[in-house]
Amino acid sequence: MSARYQIIHDTHYTYDSPVSLAKQLAHLWPRPSEWQVCERHEMRISPEPTSRMDEQDVFGNPLTRLAFERPHDELKVCARLWVEVLPRPTLDFARSPAWEDTRAALCYSGNPMVNQLLEACRYRFESPYVRLKKSFVEFSQSCFPAGRPLLEGTQALMEKIFDEFTFDAEATQVATPLVEVLESRRGVCQDFAHLMLACLRSRGLAARYVSGYLLTQPPPGQPRLIGADASHAWVSVFCPALGWVDFDPTNNVQPALEHITLAWGRDFSDVSPLRGVILGGGNHDPEVQVTVMPLEG
């Protein structure tokens, strides 16, 4: 069993005054993996960029660099993706190593590390939106008693965030500090992913931020609306015995056939769908519409 989707991601900037020069980074191609295949993709851009370069970023994600060297008063970027999501193996969390053993394996001991551990270590430390603090250790204390298997503890942390926090799109902004999210117990998927990362990394564990899309279901009897979906975010934790394992604290589930992966990094700042620098433009806010449509066959 697998699931196929067409995803439409439209971004529209309207500027108060002309932009004379701009450079943008786009993470809008789905990352290939053992559980996901990108069958086709296309990107429509208006105005036509002066230059475009498709490459990989430092985390191995598909990245598109765009440069605009002519004046323009709006920018439209429309990505169309056709993706097949494959089933992931069922894991026995009780057989994962104790979380303290995992932490120890990720610490420098004077002996050479295998490449898999070295790669995971880059996701152990602070990043622009994820600070390491004692308060995050304390919040997750009940989830990680001594000797508990890593993945059981991570699942408990996911459940704790889901139970104790309220989804509120008006409560936070991109740069809202995590300590405020922890105090208010409100936020969005990005906040919950960052909070879970902070709790795991503050314990010396390796965890990365995953961006993508989630198939949402319309209310009973209502049609699926174009542009009604949104980008989504969740967390992946490194387990030496099993590799990277994903958890979605916003929905208290393990990502499966309804999660489409775009990219991963240390936090949102590494994998923002579209970001850049501009000269001019005045005030501007993007209008973003996302549509995830299941395909048959």
Q: Residue 181's domain is classified under what CATH number?
A: 3.10.620.30
Enter the tokens of residue 28: 């809008």
The answer on 264 and 245 residing in a single domain is yes
Number of helices and strands in the chain (H, E) = 7, 13
Decide if 94 contacts 239 (C-beta within 8 A): no
**What would the pLDDT profile of 115-124 be if each residue is shown by its tens digit?**
899 999 999 9
**What would the pLDDT profile of 270-296 be if each residue is shown by its tens digit?**
999 999 999 998 888 889 999 999 998
**What would the pLDDT profile of 45-68 be if each residue is shown by its tens digit?**
999 999 999 999 999 999 999 999
Helix (H) or strand (E) holding 276: strand 274-280
The answer on 225 and 157 residing in a single domain is yes
- pLDDT over 70 percentage in the chain: 98
Q: How far is CA 234 from CA 62, 102, 267, in A?
A: 19, 21, 10
The answer on 165 and 55 residing in a single domain is no
Q: Residue 52's domain is classified under what CATH number?
A: 2.60.40.2250
| Residue 217 reports pLDDT greater than 80 | no
**What would the pLDDT profile of 65-87 be if each residue is shown by its tens digit?**
999 999 999 999 999 999 999 99
Q: What is the pLDDT of residue 201?
A: 98
The answer on 102 and 152 residing in a single domain is yes
Q: Which domain holds residue 164?
A: 93-270
Contacts 24+ apart (CB under 8 A), 115-118: 116/240, 116/243, 117/240
Top pLDDT among 110 and 246 is at 246
Q: What is the pLDDT of residue 296?
A: 84
Quickly tell me which residue has 């499966």 as its tokens: 256
The answer on 219 and 229 residing in a single domain is yes
**Domain tally, the chain:** 2
Q: What is the pLDDT of residue 223?
A: 67
Instruction: Give residue 204's identity as a one-letter amino acid code.
Output: G
Quickly tell me which residue has 């916003």 as its tokens: 250
The answer on 106 and 194 residing in a single domain is yes
What 3-state class would DSSP assign to 182? helix
User: Average pLDDT, stretch 235-261?
Assistant: 95
The answer on 170 and 248 residing in a single domain is yes
- pLDDT over 90 percentage in the chain: 85
Decide if 26 contacts 263 (C-beta within 8 A): no
Calculate the average pLDDT of the chain. Answer: 93
Beta strands 166-167 and 72-85 are unpaired
The answer on 291 and 187 residing in a single domain is no
Decide if 106 contacts 97 (C-beta within 8 A): no
Q: What is the pLDDT of residue 225?
A: 54
Enter the tokens of residue 240: 């030496």
Q: How far is CA 92 from the centre of its chain?
A: 24
The answer on 171 and 105 residing in a single domain is yes
According to the 3-state scheme, what is the secondary structure of 188-223? CHHHHHHHHHHHHHCCCCCEEEEEEEECCCCCCCCC
Q: What is the pLDDT of residue 108?
A: 80
Question: Alpha-carbon torsion 186, 187, 189, 194, what sign?
Answer: negative
The answer on 142 and 66 residing in a single domain is no
Q: How far is CA 279 from CA 17, 46, 66, 179, in A?
A: 10, 17, 14, 33
The answer on 157 and 27 residing in a single domain is no
| Residue 244 reports pLDDT greater than 80 | yes
The answer on 261 and 123 residing in a single domain is yes
110 confidence band (pLDDT: 50, 70, 90)? confident
Q: What is the pLDDT of residue 297?
A: 64
Top pLDDT among 168 and 174 is at 168
| Residue 26 reports pLDDT greater than 60 | yes
The tally of CA atoms less than 13 A away on the side-chain side of residue 142 is: 7
Decide if 29 contacts 41 (C-beta within 8 A): yes
pTM, full prediction: 0.94
230 confidence band (pLDDT: 50, 70, 90)? confident
**What would the pLDDT profile of 146-160 be if each residue is shown by its tens digit?**
999 999 999 999 999
**Using CA atoms, how far apart are residues 154 and 197, in angstroms rounded to an integer?**
10
Q: What is the pLDDT of residue 228?
A: 59
Decide if 126 contacts 201 (C-beta within 8 A): yes
User: Average pLDDT, stretch 255-277?
Assistant: 95
